A and B are shown apart, each in its own frame.
Chain A
Amino acid sequence: MREKKLNRQDFPIAETRPSKVKGKRGIALSELTIEAVLEGTVDLDDLQITPEALLQQAEIAKSVGRKTLSENFERAAEMNNLPNSEVMEIYELLRPGRTESMSTLLEEAKKIRTEYQAEKLAKFIEEAAEFYDKRGLFKKRF
């Protein structure tokens, strides 16, 4: 069962729970030493935040009344699993006039929902598509 939600007292988590904070490949913060870097056992993934850490930050933000920040961290937790290229591709599609119909965005939403279980992000894209349509953003810009 999930432990009690984090709050102000758990901040900063790098100090309050150094052995539980881990990089993308599961190496704890305390093990990311200069020696390990020099030996070549550390790669960029080890310096990546995890969905778990982002969700913990979301809990802390929520506990101090910052709901919107907390929701951003929740979206970020999902996005954490998307490759850089996917993140950039969707960003590009969300810019005005990048696509002439909403279907492109809806397909992206479907893709990340199934491939990365990114439910919140998928909904966010679908919602954007709906409002872009309403405001006439799906038209070619020169």
Chain B
Amino acid sequence: MSSSYQSNRWRRVDDWDDRPLRLDNFAVEDPDNGFSAFNGKADPKPSIGLKAGKITSMDGVMIEDFDLIDTFIAKYHMDLDIAKEAMAIPSSKLARMLVDMNVPRTELTRLAQGLTPAKLAETVAQLSAMEIAFAYSKMRARQTPGNQAHVTNAKDDPLQLAADAAIAVALGFDEIETTMRVARNSWSNALACCVGSSLGKSGTLFQCSSEEAEELEIGMAGFTSYAETVSVYGTESAFIDGDDTPWSKAWLTAAYASRGIKMRCTSGAAAELLMGFHEAKSLLYLEARCLCLQRGMGSQGTQNGGIDGAPLASSMPGGVREIMAENLIAVWLDLECASGNDARHSESDMRVAAKVLPYLIGGSDLICSGFGSILKYDNSFNPSSFNGEELEEFLVLQRDFEVDGGLTTVEGSKALSLRKRAIDALAHVLHDLGLASTTDEMKKSVAVASGSNETESFKPRDVTLISEKIKTEGVNVLDLIKSLHTGGFKQEAENLLFLVKLRVSGDYLQTSAIIRDSRVVSAINDPNNYTGPGTGYRLSEQRKEELAAIRDVLDRDEVLRTEALGEMAEMKAIRYKLLGKAEIGGDRLEVVVGISPAFGSKIFKTLAGHKLSSVLKALKVGIVKGGAVMRLVKFWHTADTSFLGLSAARLSGSGIGIGIQAKGTAVIHHRSRLPHNNLELFSNAPITKLSHYERMGYNAARYCHKELPDPVIVPTKGEALGARFHAKVALIYAIETSMTNDNASPELLDFTFLEEQT
């Protein structure tokens, strides 16, 4: 006690130190060393030099000094028919056009084809976070929002991958991405997810993130349908350090298209800084270069928005606004945007939710470019912003804001049967193709497991053997289709065939393509046409209902059903007997306890779960201990605590009454006081214990003796009681109020406790 005053530190800071937020790194702005979101030391001013239909300089660099990135952007991104017009528009005007709902998206995407990286960056930097969010929502390419899941596990266990892939499909993810703990396991992971994602419906796109060349080979075998790990960087040295050039990456871009495989590039803030080649340029400017490169390469889209650099970007002032700003450049350049929100940028749940909100309410082609559909420790990419743990939070956010984050609740028994079928399907394929055999114990442990810590299944080494076999024996998607079909998984075989047939037409190579209801939906047949309220993506009534249907939702019947269960117990615990109209008492040492209409007749427990008979008993014990007697009266004219208490006091010979509602809210009143100016009140029924009721009874008795006892305080730990109970409170209270009758007289009740309480 004494030493606590000698501290030289406010102990609130200790409390703050204990919060997860303080695990996050924060860094000062340091433009010299690449730590700047918007204002790099070496950021150029926007400029374009044109002579005889050719670029002579760009963003302050003369053509002879162009590095590979400048060269590629000048040659492939810059449209010289548009550059002169577009570069002449002041960036402040372009910024206003971005947030002006009357300027069509297509006009802005046209102009972007003639804007240099510095101009794009200078423009979006002028927008506030809210303006960026609005502009993003207006500028994103496809109207219907979508989402992407990570499906991985810490053991590379194929059975779990298949089960989790099936769940991800059922949740509504448009794309599924896997990767491995052990690089050699890529073929096994690809096959397992491919099988799992064929359950339930057709058309969920799937990718296996691995080494560039191998990833393409896996795609060529037909297991995967898209790729997004074609990374680009904003400085030449980082690019070369990443073992590629704009030309090699453009080659890959064409390679995927040439095999009918959807692809997008990847870039995100702070990658160059992490790699040590930032050139003292801001995150945003370097990203603008990356994105111009990607458009120039002819990629239909980008995975963009911090990505692996999100935590580093977020350590800087304005870092999260920068991430939003780079995403805006991506969609302004008419690229599909899988908008990050994957690598968890903070240990603080609040920072995470705040970061995703603009994308959730504004929509995005793929809101998360990797929502961890599995538990954090099973995520081989590292934990995502949202993970298996937080999935329901996301579903509830969709419901709260009535926005479509692409996901739908999967009912528990359906989830389990899907998992079992996915596991059976994969076990059959592994056996049928001579890849591995599976035991019932393995299958059972995976079906019910929340994560790989709980499974008894394949180990990474087993998986390596499976993977090598798939690769060396040249197993391809047709083998899977045949095997599934002959194993009785006919719908799955059909679904998988549908998916690989997509590559024949190449329709899903167009910008922002996903598959919904077995149809390709892209920026071509579902373009974002936002031009103000009533336009753009709107929820259908059916979709609203889906979003509303989360798990465990209360309704009136549910409350009554729960109460009916309590009724039996109460019939054994207490017997009430009506003794007729209650009159004003004459005993100067009595406490009248006034109960509400539903008390003991429709409602049988307080919100804290105490049987109402136990509450009455506690009150009685207290009243007797305090040297008074208890008289019980049932009121019909009100269900309000204050008026129950006041009415009880007015009937009491002592002038002291207790009013109590069926849900447990209770008050001590005196007949001479104003209705809401009581003696003591227990307003937090959910945390009120029987001992509190007993002390309330005791105090009421002491008031009869004209004493002033210490009021009973029900301590709170800061629980959000409104969140926990108000829906139920409102339902219960409505039951109470529906039973009230203005003209009905109070009735005197006799009560007998039928069993000893514990």
Contact = CB atoms under 8 A, between A and B. Distances in A.
Interface of A: 8, 11-15, 21-23, 29, 32, 34, 37-38, 42-44, 46-50, 53-54, 56-57, 60-61, 64-73, 75-80, 82, 84, 87-88, 90-92, 94-96, 121, 124-125, 127-128, 131-132, 135, 137
Interface in B489-523: 490, 493-494, 497, 500-507, 509-511, 519-520, 522-523
B119 interface: no
B522 A38 contact: no
Interface residues of B, number: 71
B298 A75 contact: yes
B524 A64 contact: yes
Contact of B485 (A34, A54, A71, A135): A34
20 contacts: A14-B501, A14-B504, A14-B520, A21-B505, A29-B501, A34-B481, A34-B493, A38-B485, A47-B478, A49-B259, A53-B504, A54-B506, A68-B77, A68-B297, A69-B298, A78-B258, A91-B213, A131-B247, A132-B245, A135-B236
B24 interface: no
Contacts of A66: 334, 511
A11 B106 CA distance: 19
A131 B71 contact: yes
B334 A44 contact: no
Q: Which 8 A-B pairs have the closest CB atoms?
A: A72-B298, A76-B257, A49-B260, A12-B507, A128-B247, A14-B505, A94-B248, A79-B258
A92 B247 CA distance: 11
Interface string B446-467: 0000000000000000000000
Contact of B248 (A11, A43, A78, A95): A95
Nearest to A32: B501
Interface string B69-86: 001000111010000000
Contacts of B247: 94, 124-125, 127-128, 131-132
A87 B245 CA distance: 16
B258 A11 contact: no
Contacts of A11: 507, 510, 522, 524-525
B617 interface: no
A137 B67 CA distance: 11
Contact of A12 (B254, B300, B494, B525): B525
B497 A37 contact: yes
Contacts of A49: 258-260, 503-506
A95 B481 CA distance: 36
Contacts of A64: 523-524
A137 B497 contact: no
B109 interface: yes
Contacts of B144: none
B300 A69 contact: yes
Contacts of B506: 13, 49, 53-54, 56-57, 73
A86 B607 CA distance: 72
B505 A29 contact: yes
A124 B44 CA distance: 29
A73 B504 contact: no
Given A37-B485, A69-B298, 4 more contacts: A56-B506, A66-B334, A91-B252, A131-B247
